[in-house]
């Protein structure tokens, strides 16, 4: 396993998530990384401005500009409010989801966890529970759902794709068991209107403050903490990460708990925003979340990604779909556009890598030819 030492060096030195070594892992490291020179520092800083995350932020700004210029009424306070209210569930779940995917796993059960939370909320409210107690139970549901996923993946060692496809059906099924076909809608108006209220005349939803806290939390966790630095290392090479002392299982477990808890919070948000607790709430958003995360530059194979990129990815998709709807374009076209964007963002880097590998091989062959010609 020549690989192992290679990647180990990378993770020992705490190379950030954007470390490009993964493009061709067969290559030995470039050597003296332990002493970071001034030149390398500038290089890293430059990468911060030209990396995928930064590019996504530019793309977001470009998207907003194009939408504002071409779609009448897009540039308005109303848009901010409507757009963000729709984007919040995706944005919230995308944070822990990005981390899970960076570690090389995936969680497809998030929307079902939110649905289960919503169902339990409805039943408890109908049974006369107080709101604070209900919130506590909801968060616990998130913890349990996430822990079940985490335990099945880490202790039993099953692939997360299989596990969470299972729990996707399981949690949604439980939601149906809990509340059935009913809907509970009589939540206190003060509470439900709080969840759709805006900060002053800015159009920014009040709950955005909480969402921002979640974004900052996961951003700091990924980019500034030693725990976070272990995540890309795990996604990069599980063996290497455990070799240098990362508790891979434990880290992954807590990542699943994190997605569970945030999904439960989304369940609460969804229920109160629409003032309707139902078993089918948040159906299908797991795919929207994963799409946005991938568009935001997180590698589906793990090891690479950044929170600013993901936030930009979510907002790009939301803005485009909102602009298309505002422009009266049918949902069918909208699906095609999002699909193209996604395929493009995932496929393009691979295509370029292949092309580069080919030209490198051609160049190497030419060099060998030239060398042998010189010898003879």
Binding site for another protein (CB under 8 A): 18, 20-21, 23, 27-30, 43, 47, 50-52, 55, 58-59, 62-63, 66-67, 69-73, 76, 78-79, 82, 86, 183, 185, 192-193, 196, 270, 273-276, 278, 280-281, 283-284, 316, 320, 322-333, 335, 337, 340-341, 344-345, 348-349, 352-353, 356
Nearest distance, CB of residue 330 and another protein, angstroms: 8
Structure tokens at 181: 């076909």
Neighbours of 279 (CB within 10 A): 23
Nearest distance, CB of residue 249 and another protein, angstroms: 31
Nearest distance, CB of residue 88 and another protein, angstroms: 13
> Residue 331: in which H helix or E strand, if any?
helix 331-375
Identify which of residues 169 and 352 has a Cβ nearer to another protein in the complex: 352
Nearest distance, CB of residue 18 and another protein, angstroms: 8
Identify which of residues 258 and 317 has a Cβ nearer to another protein in the complex: 317
Which distant-in-sequence residues (6+ apart) come within 8 Å of 242 by Cβ?
A: 248
How far, in Å, CA of 294 to CA of 286, rounded? 12
Residue in 111, 89, 90, 87 with CA at minimum distance from that of residue 279: 111
Nearest distance, CB of residue 104 and another protein, angstroms: 20
Identify which of residues 125 and 270 has a Cβ nearer to another protein in the complex: 270
Nearest distance, CB of residue 349 and another protein, angstroms: 4
Identify which of residues 340 and 370 has a Cβ nearer to another protein in the complex: 340
Angle (CA) 51 55 61, round 5°:
155
Identify which of residues 117 and 275 has a Cβ nearer to another protein in the complex: 275
Evaluate whether 63 touches 261 at the Cβ level (below 8 Å).
no
Nearest distance, CB of residue 17 and another protein, angstroms: 12
Evaluate whether 342 touches 291 at the Cβ level (below 8 Å).
yes
Nearest distance, CB of residue 67 and another protein, angstroms: 8
Which distant-in-sequence residues (6+ apart) come within 8 Å of 252 by Cβ?
A: 100, 103, 105, 150, 153, 154, 234
Structure tokens at 197: 């209220």
> Residue 102: in which H helix or E strand, if any?
helix 77-102
How far, in Å, CA of 38 to CA of 136, rounded? 50
Nearest distance, CB of residue 83 and another protein, angstroms: 9
How many CA atoms, within 13 angstroms, populate the side-chain half-sphere of residue 239? 7
Neighbours of 273 (CB within 10 A): 20
Q: Where are the alpha helices (DSSP H) in 202-330?
A: 208-224, 226-236, 238-243, 248-273, 285-295, 307-326
How far, in Å, CA of 204 to CA of 197, rounded? 8
How far, in Å, CA of 210 to CA of 171, rounded? 25
Identify which of residues 14 and 28 has a Cβ nearer to another protein in the complex: 28
Identify which of residues 34 and 376 has a Cβ nearer to another protein in the complex: 34
Identify which of residues 252 and 278 has a Cβ nearer to another protein in the complex: 278
């Amino acid at each position: 396993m020549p690989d192992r030492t290679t990647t180990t060096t990378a993770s020992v030195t705490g190379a950030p998530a954007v470390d490009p070594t993964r493009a061709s892992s067969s290559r030995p490291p470039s050597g003296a990384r332990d002493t970071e020179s001034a030149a390398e520092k500038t290089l890293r800083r430059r990468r911060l401005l030209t990396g995928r995350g930064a590019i996504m932020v530019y793309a977001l700004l470009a998207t907003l500009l194009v939408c504002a210029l071409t779609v009448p009424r897009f540039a308005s306070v109303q848009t901010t409010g409507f757009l963000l209210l729709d984007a919040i569930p995706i944005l919230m779940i995308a944070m822990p989801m990005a981390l899970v995917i960076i570690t090389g796993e995936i969680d497809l059960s998030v929307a079902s966890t939110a649905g289960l939370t919503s169902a339990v909320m409805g039943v408890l409210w109908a049974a006369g529970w107080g709101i604070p107690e209900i919130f506590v139970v909801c968060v616990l549901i998130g913890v349990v759902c996430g822990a079940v996923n985490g335990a099945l993946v880490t202790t039993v060692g099953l692939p997360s794709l299989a596990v969470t496809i299972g729990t996707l059906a399981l949690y949604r099924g439980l939601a149906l068991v809990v509340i059935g076909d009913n809907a509970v809608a009589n939540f206190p108006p003060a509470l439900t209107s709080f969840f759709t209220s805006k900060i002053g005349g800015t159009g920014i939803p009040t709950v955005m403050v909480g969402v921002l806290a979640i974004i900052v939390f996961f951003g700091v966790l990924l980019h500034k903490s030693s725990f976070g630095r272990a995540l890309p290392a795990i996604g990069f090479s599980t063996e290497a990460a455990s070799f240098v002392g990362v508790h891979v299982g434990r880290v992954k477990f807590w990542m699943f708990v994190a997605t569970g808890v945030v999904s439960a919070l989304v369940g609460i948000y969804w229920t109160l925003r629409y003032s309707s607790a139902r078993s089918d709430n948040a159906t299908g958003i797991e795919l929207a979340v994963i799409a946005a995360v991938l568009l935001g530059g997180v590698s589906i194979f793990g090891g690479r990604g950044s929170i600013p990129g993901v936030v930009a990815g979510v907002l790009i998709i939301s803005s485009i779909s909102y602009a298309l709807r505002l422009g009266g374009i049918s949902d069918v076209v909208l699906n095609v556009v999002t699909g193209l964007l996604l395929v493009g963002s995932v496929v393009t880097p691979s295509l370029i890598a292949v092309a580069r590998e080919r030209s490198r091989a051609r160049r190497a062959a030419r060099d060998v030819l030239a060398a042998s010609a010189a010898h003879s």
